Every structure is written in C-alpha cells, then in structure tokens.
Chain A
C-alpha cells in the first residue's frame, strides 16, 4: 500500500520488512501496462462469451429460417441474418467459442508435444538433442500453413482434425524455445548444487529447471493462441477447415465474400471478431513479455 510502482525492495521505516516476490512485481508491471490491460479485458470478454454461448445466443447456431434470409441488422436480429436464415449474432457468439476452443486446445497439444521434447533435448544433449533438432529442422522447412493444408487434405476437415493439425504444426517453436532455455539454465549453479546433493536428473528437471523455464513459455503460449486462431480461420476460409453447421469465423468471412457488395454485414462482423480475438491475446502476450522480461538474462 502506498508503495510506488517502480520500487523494488525499498527498505521500510521503523523495523518492518516487506519483500515482494518476483511474481508480485511482475503482476504490478503488467497491471500498469495499458495495452496489456486492454488486451486482457478483450480476452476476458471473449472467454466469457465463449463459455456462456448457449445462454447468450438468442438462437441455437444451427437454427435457420429461410424466409428470413439475408436480412440487415434490425431489432429482430441484432446483427442480421445470413444466406440461409441463421441469426447472425448467434452464429458470431458460437463462432467466437469455436475460435477460442481451437486456439486453446491446439496450443495445448503443441505444448504437450513441444515441451517434453524440448526438455529432453535440452537436458540430455548429445544424440537425443541431435535427433530432436533435426526433426525440428525438417518441420521448420515446411511453411506452417502449407503443411497444415497438406495434413487436412489427407485426414479431412472437421473441428477435431483442425485442432490436431494446428497443434501438430505448431509444436516446433515451443520445443526450440524450451530447449534453448534449458541449455542456459542447466549451467546455473543451483543445478550443479542439486546434482552434487544427489538429486536425480528427473527431479532436477521438474523442481528446478521447469519452473524457471516457464516465463518465456508463458509468453510463447500467449502469443501462440492468436496464431492458432488465425490458422483455423485461414483453413476455414479456404474451405478445408471446420465443417458446417459448426460456426467458424473464418468460414463466415469466406461465405460472405461474394456478397460483400450487397450484404456487407456478413463479412464485417466476423472479421472484426477475429481481429479482436487476435489483438486481445497479442496485447496480453506483449504485456507478459514486458512484465516477465526483466527476469530474463
């Protein structure tokens, strides 16, 4: 209370000791980063919409009434209707839900693959490291989106396939990052000390290395989510991502393209939603980077 934001371990007056953990300091830095807070607000709103979609949407996303097709925004349908009479607001709400679902789960998959591989490569070194890095090199040689298109054309579209494919194409950077972190961290003195005290490699990895490697990982994850969202939107835009009737913001943009001269609302709102989702997470990631960055070497 009453301490300035820039103070670190200011010595108090009269005998009391207050220390701040690094976490608290980072949080403080984050909170004072305006863009980050804006991004966090946007992100929270979108997550809220996604979680409560069935309650918020006026109609189920699959409900269509052909007689009301292609209507402009009105009090009846707040964002108008699309070509086959879906209430567009409902489609948007569920579309946001789909986008966030893909974003989170795909990145989760990427982490589940990339983090263990990077951990093992960084820790072990030698042949394991060599092999993992060669796989990473091969994967890096493929442009991500083209590789995703290729995988989709093999396994087909659909929500599940899209999530898995995006996860499969995205683990590479996380793996490399993890490995780089470990290469530097494993030379730290506390690791040597722990080893001298007889801790097993696994214990060292889990108790010492992993927590310290987490900061950049968190930033990477925060910035990976918008990429995943955009990748899904892109695949659906190309027509090879999510299938109807599951709403997808990318597919809505694609469907609206021929009508852009007449029914502008069909293209404007989904594009806005995609942009907001990506901006929100990107700002949060920037904020995290600034907040946690000073800890890094």
Chain B
C-alpha cells in the first residue's frame, strides 16, 4: 500500500477494533445475569422439609405431632397455635426427648448416608458477598446464609409456619400487640443466652437511619413507630419491638391489626446484642469475632475464593442438620452449570435456556432437574391506565387475549415456568388460577373484536408502542419478543421491545406520573400471605392503576382477624377484580429450575402437599426446616471430584 502522507487509517471512523474486550462490558448480561442469579439463588438455595410428619418418633413423649396439628392451620396463622411446640426436628427415630429443645447433634442418619466427614455440601456463590446477616444487608449475602441464628418462626416443607426460636406466640384482642415466648435454653456460642434483648437490638439496628438498611420498606406501615424511626423522627427505643415481662418475652406492637406479622417474621434472624456492642454489626464477617446461636459457625472466609461453615457444637436449637461442613466457592454465575456438570458443586439453579436443554438431553442430568416454586414469581405485562390508549379497558382486554401462553410455555419456558392467568401462583395461599383462567384466556378473534370496538379496527391508528423490559435475561427477552410478534401479527400493532437497565426502569416506573406506558416485569413474594402479593396493585404502589373496590377489599382482608377461609375469600374477590380490569396481563409463573446431585437427598426433597418436589424457598437456612431434611448419601464418593 502506498505510504504517502494521505494514507488512510484503516479504522476510518476512529474506532479501535477492540470490541472483543468490550464483550466483557455486557452490562445487561453481566449485571442482569449475576444479580438475577444471585438474588434468586439467595432465596432458593436449598429447600428443606419438615420432619417426616406422618410418624412422630415413637419414643417422643409429646402427644400429637405438632406438625399434624399445625398442618391443619392455613399458611396464614392469624393466631399462633398456642400448643406447646415439641421438637419439630427431623429424623429423630432414636430417643431424642421431645419436649426439650435439645438435639444438638444429628440423630442417627439413614442407612445410606455417608460418614460424617463426607457430609460436606458444596455450592457456588457470586463475588458480591459482603455479609452473612440479613439484618446487615439483604442483597449482599452469599447463596447460603442465615445459619448463625434462628428466626422466631420458620417454614416447613409445606410452607407452613412453625415455631423456631419462639416456642409460642399470641396476639391481643385488638390485634395490635403480639407476645412471643422465646424457647428457653438457646445460647450464643460465646456463652450468652439468646434473649428478647437480642431481637430488640436487631430491630433497632435495622431501623437505625445511620445503618441505612436496604430492607426498611418491608416493615413500613406495619411495626409501630418504624416509619418515624427510620427517618430519625423518633428515637429507636420507641420502636414497637420491646422486651416483655422477662428476658424470654418479646413484644411486637403494630400500627393496625396485622394477622400476617408472624409470616413476615420468617426473616427475624437476631443479631447478638453482646456481639454488636463488642465488635460492631459486621461481627460475623470474621471467624474470630463471629458469634452464632445457629447450627453452623463461620470457619473461614478467603476473599475471592471460598467460604466455609462448620457445625456449631454449642447449638441448642431444634434443627438436626446432617451436613457437617458447607463450602461456598466464589465463582462467576456463568460458570455454575459447567461446575455442576464437572461434579465440582452439588447444586445449582436458574440454568440458562441452552444449559437446560443440554441437561434435558443428558440421560443422567435429566433426572437431576427439579422445578421449584421459587418465590412464587409472576411475570406480567402492565399498562399505564391513565393515558391513552391503555386507559380504554377494551384495549387492555384485547391485549390480554393475544398471548398464547401455552405455546410460550411449550417452546420457550419448558419446565422453567407455567402459564399464568392470574396474579397468585399455584401453591401460594389464596391462589385460584383455575377459577379465573378464562378471564384473560388466549382468544385471537375476541382480541380483534375488542380492539375494533375500542376504535382501532385491525390496529388502524393505534400508536406504535415500546415495551419496556427491566434488565431482562435471555429467557424473558425471548418471551417479550414472542408477545410483540403476536401483537404485530394478530392485531397489526407495531411493538418495539427495549431492554432497560434496572435503575432507569424502576425510576421511570415509580415516577409520578409514571413514564412507562407499556412494559413487562415480574414480582415475587416477600412473605406468604396474599396481602403481600396483592399489595403490589394497591393505589400508590408501583403501578398507576387505582381501583377503590380493590383497595378496600385488600386492606380489609389484610387486617381481618376472623376465620381464615373468609379472609382468603376476600382476597380472592379482590384478585378477580384485578384480573378482570386488566391493568396487567399475566404471562407466566416462574418455576425456577434446580439441579441437584443424586447424592443429596432427604425428606426435604420429597413431594410436598401439592406434589411439588424441590428445595423449597427460603432454602438452606434456619428460617426453613430443610437443614434437618437433607443429607449426603454414600454415592458421593463415586461422583464428587476431589
């Protein structure tokens, strides 16, 4: 080539051809993928089961398996079962006396269990780990967390509330004061007993404006003085969480009757008041200052490498974990599936669609696939009902009839989701999918008719739309594209699909007035009560829909302290209004895929009441009975590497 002074630089527009480096900048894939995987993995790590509920241990003195009694209660106990909670611990066929919260060492394991030194559970976690404690920072915890203390209540394998640190609780007649009795004998491994003061200190720390906890919204409007405490308007000792008459009595005061408060207290892992005073709130980030009242302690945390937990010999709670050691390797979420295939880890979840296809095609892996309920997450289209054209009910209804959910489930979702025609997912309290299935059913002719009635025959003059996505992963992008294609093909309306990053999306959505006319997003439950899911649609919430009838029904049901089935019916009536008025079109309920090695088994992986077989939310944590329900079999030596 000529070397004259007018030689043209090959990159005539000044770009460096270094785009390969910038593949690392796949913000959406990276942030979305790892954040999504981390967040979901946090909440669905390993599930658990309850004790073999059918047979109380023959040697157990307590009459009537408490789980049987509590199984009768619906998942929304308005009043606590005042019955004394005997050991709800796992397999205890050999002489664990029921009444005492003893059982520190795992009772005799089943015959096929591996030796204790082989009972090691290995998983991956991403590198965004900063703390282990929920009350320090919810969204910075590893896959397996919350094992260093026990909440007041926990869930069994049927999502039913069980006593944990609290042995019983009751509510006052006006419904605004709850009294929890802490089980005696619980201790921290620094020698201090677990008392109500620990919970008081924990909740005060959560509400402390200096702490700026990332979960304060959760108790807003619920606990007395919480809203003022988090803004610094009242001192923390005015918070409605107080010690009762003695060290083992804990009082909660609420702003209004809140029958769902116990369900929310699944998250009430206490921090140690003494350790907070001595080492500060990050005391669990180092083994030497870490203090635990739970079944595990922090043995080591090599930054960027791995985290190791081992059994707490001083544990006095009711769980009977079989694992003696838990190893969490720090790795990029994208490598999880490969690590699982190579037998380096025992569990992974949320495989990418292609990875799922590989697993389904493999004769061994296909048997290791579990569809869980996850956090009962529903994915849906939503509209800004205050601006045309979506202020017209017929337009919204037309859109609701244009989605072929069956085809989406078959071709795109596979085992990762089920069709959604309503808001509450199957298995969630109050869910009534079959009853309302027809309101938003797939019907192209009806959709066309409705659109024509609304004044847009064959899509004429309908403004071009942009569907906003919130940092969606490949699966949801594919679904959004399929829906857009269906709208274009059937209704002749142009829809562009635009994947926005989370902050931009959230800020635009919650702006008043909202800046998103049409979008696709999801919501997963925070606690197991219909009020939690339905409250998303209340006026003033994240969407612009306002329906007074719906608001009244939901709020009345929320604080209703009468019979449970009546309460459920009220919620269901409200859901029917939601589905009929269609501020949202419900697409699918996520059933996150879990891959679990065959040598990890136990009652936690048995089918629950509704037949679901998976590790249930919230996973391998003291808020769930799963630690008592999982063990490693002898096959581990055949499969696991190293």
Contact = CB atoms under 8 A, between A and B. Distances in A.
A216 interface: yes
A223 B25 contact: no
A289 B7 CA distance: 9
Nearest to A282: B10
A170 B23 contact: no
A231 B13 contact: yes
Contacts of B22: 145-146, 149, 234, 238
Q: How large is the interface on B (under 10, 10 to 19, 20 to 34, 35 or more residues)?
A: 35 or more
Given A64-B485, A156-B498, A173 B16 contact: no
Interface stretch (A12-20, A192-200, A254-262): A254-262
Contact of B496 (A158, A170, A228, A258): A158
B207 to A, nearest CB: 36
Given A238-B25, A238-B27, A289-B1, A230 B498 contact: no
A285 to B, nearest CB: 8
A127 interface: no
A173 B12 contact: yes
Interface in B5-22: 5-6, 8-19, 22
A297 interface: yes
A171 B123 CA distance: 51
Nearest to A227: B13
B497 A243 contact: yes
A84 interface: yes
Contact of A144 (B15, B352, B357): B15
Nearest to B4: A296
Interface of A: prevailing SS = helix
A245 B6 contact: no
A145 B8 contact: no
Given A180-B6, A220-B8, A245 B18 contact: no
A224 interface: yes
Contacts of B13: 107, 110, 144, 166, 169-170, 172-173, 224, 227-228, 231
A111 to B, nearest CB: 11
A139 B357 CA distance: 46
B14 A144 contact: yes
Contacts of B411: 66-67, 69-70, 84-85
Nearest to B361: A262
A262 B354 contact: yes
B497 A245 contact: yes
Contacts of A172: 13-14
B498 A219 contact: no
Interface string A218-244: 011101100110110010011110011
B8 A62 contact: no
A181 B25 contact: no
B478 A84 contact: yes
Contacts of B498: 156-158, 243
Interface string A76-100: 0000000111100000000000000
Contacts of B488: 62, 245
B474 interface: yes
B496 A243 contact: yes
A63 interface: yes
Interface string B36-70: 00000000000000000000000000000000000
B2 interface: yes
B303 interface: no
Contact of B484 (A107, A177, A181, A244): A244
Interface in B462-497: 466, 474, 477-478, 480-482, 484-486, 488-489, 495-497
Interface string A193-219: 000000000000000000000001001
B410 interface: yes
Contacts of A84: 411-412, 478, 481-482, 485
B11 A227 contact: yes
B276 interface: no
A126 interface: no
A62 B14 contact: no
A177 B7 CA distance: 10
Contacts of A174: 12
Q: Could you say which of A166, A221, A293 has the most chain B C-beta atoms within 10 Å of its C-beta?
A: A293
A259 B351 CA distance: 12
B407 interface: yes
A166 B15 CA distance: 10
B129 interface: no
B9 A64 contact: no
A173 B12 CA distance: 6
Contacts of A255: 474, 477
A249 B497 CA distance: 16
Contacts of B481: 64, 84, 244-245
Nearest to A85: B411
A143 interface: yes
Q: Could you say which of A110, A216, A234 has the most chain B C-beta atoms within 10 Å of its C-beta?
A: A234
A166 B13 CA distance: 9
A293 B2 contact: yes
A1 to B, nearest CB: 30
15 contacts: A64-B486, A64-B489, A67-B407, A67-B410, A84-B412, A144-B15, A169-B15, A216-B8, A223-B8, A238-B22, A238-B23, A243-B496, A245-B488, A259-B357, A290-B1
Q: 10 tightest CB-CB pairs across the interface, nearest first?
A: A170-B13, A144-B15, A64-B485, A224-B12, A66-B407, A244-B497, A66-B411, A259-B354, A223-B12, A234-B19
